[in-house]
Amino acid sequence: MQNTYRSDVVLHEHLERLLPPEVRAEVEPELDQMGEAAAGPLARLAEQAEASPPRLVPYDAWGRRVDRIEVSPAWSELHAVQARAGLCALPYESRHGRYDRIVQHALLHLYGPSSAVYSCPVAMTDAAVRVLVDHAPAALRDRVAPCLTSRDPGRAWTSGQWMTEREGGSDVGGTATVAWIMVVFLVPFLGVLAYHVAGRPRLPAWLRAVVIGGGIASYLVILAVGAVVGGIA
């Protein structure tokens, strides 16, 4: 695979449009270096990291509870690469003023595809810094933010997010909700209900009442079953 920066015509067009020439000239070596790494060393690290996913070790050899997460050396090196490149630090160093985020996103664009999704922890860490800078008490901000934005891999912290879905994490494709069930069943039900209430059905009044009452009861049963199946009730 060739240098992903040099071969990315669309990225070049965007940077030419969004960055002043002097900023573009200053960051060009960093972008080229990241593109070269993404085409070679980073891609190999990503393959190794994907082949050896993180593993929870609940107990040590003596049966003591440790709850340690073991990651592959490749995953640790992917962390080191992004720290040295300043992927979390760039927006807070004010090197390029209003263009800091553009430079950061260009580097992330090159780093991400060859990072075994380490771009996800990078994004969470960056978000944590933003919250600290904007909202945290000064003492907390000054203690934690420098660790989250450090370019020293041995000192750089990584932030995480704790999700609230029952399934956990960001893969919530199987999560059923009452709102979704209502959307699926409510539209046809309302159409039938409107016809029997406001239309001119040929059914006797007592039969219409049975149809409407039975439809409402059935709809409520469907919602209840969906809530139980989806883990909501």
pTM: 0.69
pLDDT, tens only, 97-128: 999 999 999 999 999 999 999 999 999 999 99
* Cβ contact 83:152 at 8 Å: yes
Element (H, E) at 185: helix 178-198
pLDDT of residue 182: 60
Q: Which has more confidence, 140 or 194?
A: 140
pLDDT, tens only, 15-69: 999 999 999 999 999 999 999 999 999 999 999 999 999 999 999 999 999 999 9
Alpha helices in the chain (DSSP H): 9-18, 21-39, 41-51, 73-85, 90-93, 100-111, 119-135, 138-148, 178-198, 205-229
Average pLDDT, the chain: 85
